């Protein structure tokens, strides 16, 4: 999670889940209970949990600007350090949410990989976790196009 947990201070966390159907609310509540346990395993202190029902997720933020501003207000009021989404987030969604909320944002997969990294004991386990983290990060780089490419074509390419 963060260096705070190694210093004895626990990160204050808000959990969030987006669902598309009110009929699946009970499944989401169970998933948030599991996310709470994962967060506590990673050394976080869950302060708040939110669920939003939204038929069409916003491509920019997943949740919409209004809900993001509401989360920002809650984070300020409760001095939240980290927001963990039960949903998978794209890199652009994470950047957009962090800009609005003014707080670090991660998704469930990143949390699980952090837990594995923290608990890996053997050299082999640490290597396997690092490989999994790198594969996760590279999947987040997809779509950035030629920004990350050393190859180019056309006029002015060396």
Q: What is the pLDDT along the chain (158 residues), one digit of tens a residue?
A: 664 545 567 999 999 999 998 887 888 899 999 999 999 999 999 999 999 999 999 999 999 999 999 999 999 999 999 999 999 999 999 999 999 999 999 999 999 999 999 888 899 988 998 888 888 888 777 555 555 555 544 454 45
Residue 64 forms part of a structural domain: yes
Task: Return the CA Rg of the chain.
Answer: 18
Residue 27 forms part of a structural domain: yes
Q: Could you give the CA distance from residue 108 to residue 71 in angstroms, rounded to a whole number?
A: 17
What's the structural domain count of the chain? Answer: 1
Residue 17 forms part of a structural domain: yes
**Full-model pTM:** 0.80
Q: Could you give the CA distance from residue 83 to residue 81 in angstroms, rounded to a whole number?
A: 7
Write the CATH number for 54. Answer: 3.40.50.11060
Structural domain containing residue 33: 8-107
Q: 3-class DSSP state for residue 54?
A: coil
């Amino acid at each position: 999670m963060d260096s705070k947990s190694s210093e004895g201070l626990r990160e204050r966390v808000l959990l969030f889940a987006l669902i598309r159907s009110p009929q699946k609310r009970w499944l989401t509540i169970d998933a948030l209970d599991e996310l709470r346990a994962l967060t506590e395993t990673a050394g976080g202190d869950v302060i708040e949990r939110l669920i939003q029902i939204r038929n069409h997720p916003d491509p920019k933020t997943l949740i919409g600007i209004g809900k993001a501003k509401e989360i920002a207000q809650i984070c300020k009021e409760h001095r939240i350090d980290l927001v963990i989404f039960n949903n998978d987030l794209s890199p652009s969604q994470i950047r957009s949410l962090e800009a609005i909320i003014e707080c670090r944002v991660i998704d469930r997969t990143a949390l699980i990989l952090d837990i594995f990294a923290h608990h890996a004991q053997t050299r082999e386990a640490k290597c396997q976790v690092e490989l999994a983290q790198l594969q996760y990060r590279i999947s987040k780089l997809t779509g950035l196009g030629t920004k990350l490419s050393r190859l180019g074509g056309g006029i002015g390419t060396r």
